[in-house]
Amino acid sequence: MSIQLEINEKEIETIYSGKTGCACGCKGKYHKDSKKFSRIIKNIHKFIEEEDVAIKVQAVSNHESIIEILNEDIDKVYRIYTK
């Protein structure tokens, strides 16, 4: 099964990459530089293609959401925070 993730980079506020369950920054990194979003999104697409991942979408407020792409077996996660 092929998963396609389409997201408007202009809507991204922050991307977190790191270990599952850790969002404090100690084992991961928050990316806020919009110039780097394209590269990180490419890495996310590669991660989706190569790993057995789960994708979760959570609405935070009216227009904000969190898209989580994770593989619990290798303890890796990407979280995309949108505006």
pLDDT of residue 52: 85
Best CA proximity match to 68, nearest among 59, 78, 76: 78
d(CA 1, CA 81): 25
Number of domains within the chain: 1
Q: Is residue 8 part of a domain?
A: no
Residues of the domain holding 72: 22-82
d(CA 59, CA 76): 21
Best CA proximity match to 80, nearest among 11, 1, 19, 24: 11
Q: Is residue 77 part of a domain?
A: yes
pLDDT of residue 74: 82
d(CA 15, CA 67): 9
pLDDT of residue 81: 92
Q: Is residue 17 part of a domain?
A: no
pTM over 0.75: yes
Give average pLDDT by consecutive 10-residue segment, the chain, 83 residues: 76 88 68 91 90 85 83 87 88
Amino acid in position 31: H
Q: Is residue 78 part of a domain?
A: yes
